[in-house]
Amino acid sequence: MPLNIVHGNLAAFRADALVNPSNSLLRGGGGVSGFLFKAAGWDDLQRACDAIGYCAPGQAVITPAFSLPARYVIHTVGPVYRGGGQNEAQLLRNAYINSLELARRHGLESIAFPLISSGTYGYPQAEAVSIAIRSIRTWLDGQEEEMTVTLELFNRQEMSLEARLSMPVSRALRQAEYQNRDIRYSLRDPDRTAPHDRTGALRDAALTEHTIYQADLDMLRRVEEAAAREPAAEVSMQEAKPLSLSELIKQKDEGFSDTLLRLIDARGLTDAEVYKRANIDRKHFSKIRINPGYTPSKTTALALAIALKLTRDETDNLLARAGYALSPARTMDIIIAHFLDVGNYNIDDINAVLFSHEQGTLGV
């Protein structure tokens, strides 16, 4: 039951249904609505809307899509924002839910939305984004049948985030940039002190060839902890012989798929719970389950780690079994590490932040 967040022109998107943010009289307008009417054939789509005549705020109606790359257009009316005290939030939730219900009743498997009410209707963008994502996810989680839902934003600036998401992530990215900058600086000239940061405060002690950064300390700690869990090998120097390549291959550890399934069982979760939390569909998950040698993409592996609510160390372990690692030099990985560290495993929160920073999203 994946929820995609993409940017582009909704009128060019391929789905069973495209959602038109309409007015109650179902007249073609500007913005996204105008693009849809123009691509569909304005007169054809307007005649179909005129035959219906009216749609109340929060409700949805359906027409053919004519020349659009879709089967249907679902027209829904979002609320005009008047300060938030006139039931606007519920009406906006209803616009998404009723559109999804209409698609379900018509047996559709995919639907694409714009961000409803955030344009000329004045809904604050951060709140409009939050309502859209939560409404869609709540509906998807209650469905038995698969439906792929896309929230298509005209540009990334529409992805305005709540402060609870944007501020901590911005701090994490700045901190990582300081650390990476200082590492680069010390590699150029290890005998000189670090430059001033943006606040004007001098960075801590001089960077020398003996300086160990936090990332190194974390890695060292993990290696030491792993070594402490292993029983001491009582092998004499005469007995210690290097293993042959074939022997080393025979001793390889379990792969990604086996590790994933073991973790699912250990947490008492069902497959459906995991693939829904990971924002991937049933077919994709089935490929992982039936193929012990399956190697997922890094974004899929990370999505499954989020779905299982793994710790940072557990995530590192699972990623390694697919040949990946979290890098302190990649924006996506810094964002994922932040969410792991603070214990926020909401895939939609993570994807909203990734999208706003022009990164690929997880799952799907």
Q: In the prediction, which pLDDT does 245 show?
A: 60
SS3 of residue 205 by DSSP: coil
Cα gap 311→342, rounded to integer Å: 10
**What is the sign of the dihedral through the CA atoms of 325, 328, 334 and 339?**
positive
DSSP 8-state assignment for residue 161 = P
Mean pLDDT of all residues in 251-271 = 89
Q: Please give the structure tokens belonging to residue 78.
A: 């979002």
Cα gap 60→80, rounded to integer Å: 16
Q: In the prediction, which pLDDT does 170 show?
A: 84
SS3 of residue 67 by DSSP: coil
Angle at 194 between CA 188 and CA 199, to 5 degrees: 135
Residue pair 104/136 in contact (Cβ under 8 Å)? The answer is no
One-letter amino acid of 330: R
**CB-neighbour burial class of residue 262 (10 A; exposed 0-12, middle 13-18, buried 19+):** exposed
Average pLDDT score over the chain: 85
The residue with tokens 């809307």 is 49
Helices and strands, number each (H, E), in the chain: 14, 6
Tell me which of 189 and 330 has the higher pLDDT.
Answer: 330
pLDDT band at 261 (very low <50, low <70, confident <90, very high): very high
Instruction: Using the predicted structure, report yes or no on whether residue 265 has a pLDDT greater than 80.
Output: yes
pLDDT band at 186 (very low <50, low <70, confident <90, very high): low
pLDDT band at 325 (very low <50, low <70, confident <90, very high): very high
pLDDT band at 145 (very low <50, low <70, confident <90, very high): confident
Cα gap 173→277, rounded to integer Å: 25
Which residues of the chain does CATH 3.40.220.10 include?
Answer: 3-158
Of the candidates 7, 19, 353, the residue with the CA atom closest to the CA atom of residue 155: 7
Predicted TM-score (pTM) of the model is 0.79
Q: In the prediction, which pLDDT does 249 show?
A: 54
b or e along 342-354 (b: 16 or more beta carbons within 10 Å of the residue's beta carbon)?
Answer: eebbebbbbbbbb
Question: pLDDT tens digits for 285-296?
Answer: 999 999 988 899
Question: pLDDT tens digits for 236-254?
Answer: 545 556 766 665 555 557 8
- Residue 132 bridge partners (DSSP): none
Within a 10 A sphere around the Cβ of 257, how many other Cβ atoms? 20
pLDDT band at 173 (very low <50, low <70, confident <90, very high): confident
SS3 of residue 61 by DSSP: strand
Q: Please give the structure tokens belonging to residue 240.
A: 């210690």
The residue with tokens 């498997």 is 109
Helix axes 125-141, 88-105, angle to 10 degrees: 40
Instruction: Using the predicted structure, report yes or no on whether residue 141 has a pLDDT greater than 70.
Output: yes
Q: In the prediction, which pLDDT does 209 show?
A: 37
Instruction: Using the predicted structure, report yes or no on whether residue 12 has a pLDDT greater than 80.
Output: yes
Compute the half-sphere exposure of residue 33: CA atoms within 13 Å on the CB side of its CA.
24
Q: In the prediction, which pLDDT does 167 show?
A: 82
Percent of all residues in the chain with a pLDDT value above 90, rounded to a whole number: 66
Instruction: Using the predicted structure, report yes or no on whether residue 301 has a pLDDT greater than 50.
Output: yes
Fold classification of 3-158 is Leucine Aminopeptidase, subunit E; domain 1 (3.40.220)
Question: pLDDT tens digits for 193-250?
Answer: 555 444 444 344 334 334 444 555 565 566 566 656 555 545 454 555 676 666 555 5
Mean pLDDT of all residues in 125-139 = 95
Q: In the prediction, which pLDDT does 330 show?
A: 94
